[in-house]
Amino acid sequence: MKDFSKFEEGLGIYFENKGLLMQAFIHRSYLNEHSDTGLDHNERLEFLGDAVLELIVTEYLYNKYDNPEGDLTSWRAALVNSKMLSKIASDLNFNEYILLSKGEAKDTGRARQYILANAVESIIGAIYLDKGFETAKEFITKNIIKELPAVLKNKLYRDPKSTFQEQAQDRVGITPTYGVIEESGPDHDRHFVVGVYLEEELVAEGGGSSKQEAQEGAAQKALEVKGW
């Protein structure tokens, strides 16, 4: 099994229950090949951690900003979505500790992003159970809420597809369309390149492990190209 002492040192959080820490990193697939661990997978911890994360982020936004509910909801979503949480997981080197089946370990695409994001929620749940609410709050503030200035500065809370459509309709009277330009990679790790068009004009391209992700990337680039 893995040695989590360096992970604890990096967090500055030392678990009383080491099994709880390990469980936070056990993906369901791992138990198919290692049924003798004596521990469950991390999905219950993920369920708990998701609620703790949402409460702490909501409390922070409520206390710090007087903005309408809609703004706060969008900002919270940008902080706790899978893309952001997988980034946090990478920053904290979760890839070195996550326990997966051999098959899952080979997948480095969209599925891994969700696994890492879920592991962040699981570790929050584990911290909450082992060290209490305040320690969980410190972890979330230090590692997740710290991303809020970048979210606000770069308007990451905005859905780029909706924004580009609104701007295109208002400014030039055209509804954008999207088309796949390139599709590559094995079935478990596909990569798409999608173009966004205003009638015949190819405005920008975006890439991603799903068509939706590629469309969002293309829309974001199109907003930058047009200066909208």
Question: Considering 71, 104, 121, 189, which one is annotated as catalytic?
Answer: 121
**Structure-token pair, residue 58:** 């909501």
| Calpha distance 141→209 (Å, rounded) | 30
Question: Considering 8, 33, 40, 50, which one is annotated as catalytic?
Answer: 50
User: How many contiguous H segments (helices) and E segments (strands) does the chain have?
Assistant: 12, 3
Task: Show binding-site residues.
Answer: 46, 118, 121
10 Å Cβ neighbour count for 206?
22
Task: Show binding-site residues for Mg(2+).
Answer: 46, 118, 121
| Calpha distance 217→214 (Å, rounded) | 5
Whether the CB-CB separation of 223 and 213 falls below 8 Å is answered with no
SS3 38: coil
Can you name the residues that pair with 132 across neighbouring β-strands? Answer: none
Residue 166 falls in the annotated catalytic set: no
Q: Side chain identity at 149, as an amino acid letter?
A: P
Can you name the residues that pair with 26 across neighbouring β-strands? Answer: 99
Residue 50 falls in the annotated catalytic set: yes
- Give the residue numbers annotated as catalytic, written as ranges: 50, 121
